[in-house]
Amino acid sequence: MKYGRILTFTLALILAASWAPGVSASETVSSSAGASLGCSLEIPLDKDLAPDVLVAGHSWERARVNLENPGTEPLYNITVLIEVPEGLETSISPQPHLITKEGQRITAEIGELAPGQRASLLLDVKPPASVEFKKHVTFTIQAAYSGGEQQSEHTVSLIPPPSWLTYFTILASLLLFVGVLAAVKRSGVLDLFSTVDLITIALLAAVIAVVFRYLSKLINLGWFDGLVIAIPTVVLMVVALQLVRKPGTATLLFTCVLLISMVVWGSHIMWLGFYLAEGVVVDLLVILFGMDYADRRLTAVIYGISRGVVSTLVFYLLYAPVEWKISYAPWYVGLQLALACAGGLIGGLLGYDTAVKMSGARL
């Protein structure tokens, strides 16, 4: 099979991703008796997010206190007291155990745990609306039971939402885009695009913005949504490059994708910088390779992978934290980067063959 090795590589990547481990939090534990009770705190529970990190201004995050009896004898009359740091709001949902809340103190009556038995407590934590600087706050968990007691501390980083410098960067990119448009209009570069070119770009952009995005929402493969959308997007990007063959084709294509997304899906204009980044990097590479409009398989793959790398980094390191106030785990960003590269590789190869059949491009 022509692309057998590529498909094998992609399958191996998916299998490896399915085994991607979460990150366990370290605990400081002190005990006053021989018998011990395993106690740990997980926050947030979403493994895609950075562990032990809360972003100020974000919505509620789910946390879990894990209890385990690792010994050979049962533990009786277990009571757990959780002291929540000041400034964090908590909410308790209905659970099998008797739980009471008074101010920043949460008390849970666990009862008995047989050897090897586990129990858990769920609570929702909401960070403050804002903090001036990054700081560390500590959850203190005290457990008392027949025969002893112990205390553990769990430190969480509380970071401010994206600074005004980030918003200034986005505003600067918008102003730069307007300036580039004015310069391009004055230089007459837009006159290079014929009516057929503009219709071709608009049709391809509509397929990317509407059809592919709808299918991505419909299928919803979780971690692999980026791979699902990257392959057909790169295919049509390569097709656009070979059919139109004008400088600025990729930038115009992804700008049209945003404009259509704003109408159909209600996307915000702040995402303009994101779409510009993936188009500009491809157009710069076209110039760097001597106006090579993906006329070779190698350049088609390079364009696809480069677009994937830039779009992934800009999304997870800038736009996602700004828009949703989310701090992603480094391993998750790396996983999405690998999937984007795989999508760019496959999309570049398929896009080259598709474009050759559509336009009769030379090798």
pLDDT at 264: 81
Q: Which of 108, 125, 159 is the last residue of a domain?
A: 159
| Residue 71 φ/ψ region, left for φ over 0, alpha for ψ in the -120 to 50 degree band, beta for the rest | beta
Q: Are residue 41 and residue 148 in the same domain, yes or no?
A: yes
- Contacts of 220-224 with C-beta under 8 Å, sequence gap 24+, read 223/17, 223/48, 223/335, 223/336, 223/339, 224/14, 224/17, 224/339
pLDDT at 361: 43
Q: Are residue 132 and residue 192 in the same domain, yes or no?
A: no
Domain count, the chain: 2
Q: What is the dihedral of CA 215, 221, 223, 226, to 10 degrees?
A: -20
Q: Are residue 196 and residue 332 in the same domain, yes or no?
A: yes
Query: Residue 196 is inside which H or E element, if any?
Result: helix 195-206
286 part of a folded domain = yes
Q: Are residue 48 and residue 180 in the same domain, yes or no?
A: no
In this structure, what are the phi and psi dihedrals at residue 49, rounded to the nearest 5 degrees?
A: -90, 155
Only one residue has tokens 């295919």, namely 235
Domain of residue 184, residue span: 164-359
14 part of a folded domain = no
pLDDT at 347: 92
351 part of a folded domain = yes
**What does the DSSP assignment read for 25-37?**
PP-EEEESSSS--
Q: Are residue 143 and residue 232 in the same domain, yes or no?
A: no
Instruction: Write out the chain's pLDDT in tens, 363 residues.
Output: 455 555 455 545 444 444 444 333 344 555 555 557 888 889 888 877 888 888 877 778 889 999 888 888 888 888 899 999 988 888 888 888 888 888 889 998 888 888 888 888 899 998 887 776 778 889 999 988 887 888 888 998 888 766 555 566 567 666 766 776 676 677 666 678 888 888 899 899 888 888 777 777 677 666 677 788 888 999 999 999 999 998 889 988 998 888 888 888 776 667 777 888 888 899 999 999 999 999 999 999 999 999 999 999 888 887 777 766 677 778 888 888 999 999 999 999 999 999 888 875 444
**What does the DSSP assignment read for 46-61?**
-TTBPTTEEETT---E
Q: Are residue 137 and residue 179 in the same domain, yes or no?
A: no
| CATH number assigned to the domain comprising residue 108 | 2.60.40.1510
Q: Are residue 229 and residue 91 in the same domain, yes or no?
A: no
